[in-house]
């Protein structure tokens, strides 16, 4: 019943109720799925097999699966690539102290743990 190309419905997790297709059988308990769900490993107990079987190869790409879903008038999950943001540059503490000295202010010194004020 569990074979490559078998249409299933996810019955557990965040993608529950969405249709997927088995792309690869990893072992007797886990499979790789893709379709309306996220492409990921899934426990066999978390999917319900349907009667339909798609003609796909083992390890088929997401675009191949999307084409097969469009033939069945189903919509495959599409994601947008994330935009890479520039990382913030941290300034060193020495520069901050130098700027404070220039402004006429002295940085606060931390008290030592053993020192007690009287």
Q: Which pLDDT belongs to residue 83? A: 86
Q: How many other CB atoms are there within 10 angstroms of residue 56's CB atom?
A: 19
43 membership: H or E segment, kind and range:
strand 40-43
The 10s digit of each residue's pLDDT in 33-74 is: 998 998 999 999 999 999 989 888 888 888 888 888 888 888
CB crowding 6-34: b at 16 or more within 10 Å, else e: bbbbbeeeebeebbbbbbebeeeeebbbb
**What's this model's pTM, rounded to 2 decimal places?**
0.65
Q: Which two tokens stand for residue 111?
A: 């008290």
The H or E element containing residue 102 is helix 93-102
Residue 80 is predicted with a pLDDT of 76
Full set of structural domains in the chain with CATH: 6-71 (2.30.30.30)
CA distances from 82 to 20, 62, 76, 85, 114 (A): 24, 18, 19, 9, 50
Pair 23, 4: CB distance under 8 Å: yes
């Amino acid at each position: 019943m569990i074979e490559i190309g078998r249409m299933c419905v996810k019955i557990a997790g965040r993608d529950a109720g969405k249709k997927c297709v088995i792309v690869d059988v990893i072992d007797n308990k886990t499979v790789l799925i893709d379709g309306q769900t996220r492409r990921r490993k899934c426990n066999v107990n978390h999917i319900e097999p349907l009667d339909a079987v798609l003609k796909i190869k083992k390890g088929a790409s997401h675009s191949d699966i999307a084409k097969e879903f469009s033939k069945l008038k189903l919509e495959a999950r599409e994601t947008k690539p994330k935009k890479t943001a520039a990382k913030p540059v941290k300034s060193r503490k020495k520069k901050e102290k130098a700027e404070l000295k220039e402004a006429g202010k002295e940085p606060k010194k931390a008290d030592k743990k053993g020192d007690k004020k009287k």
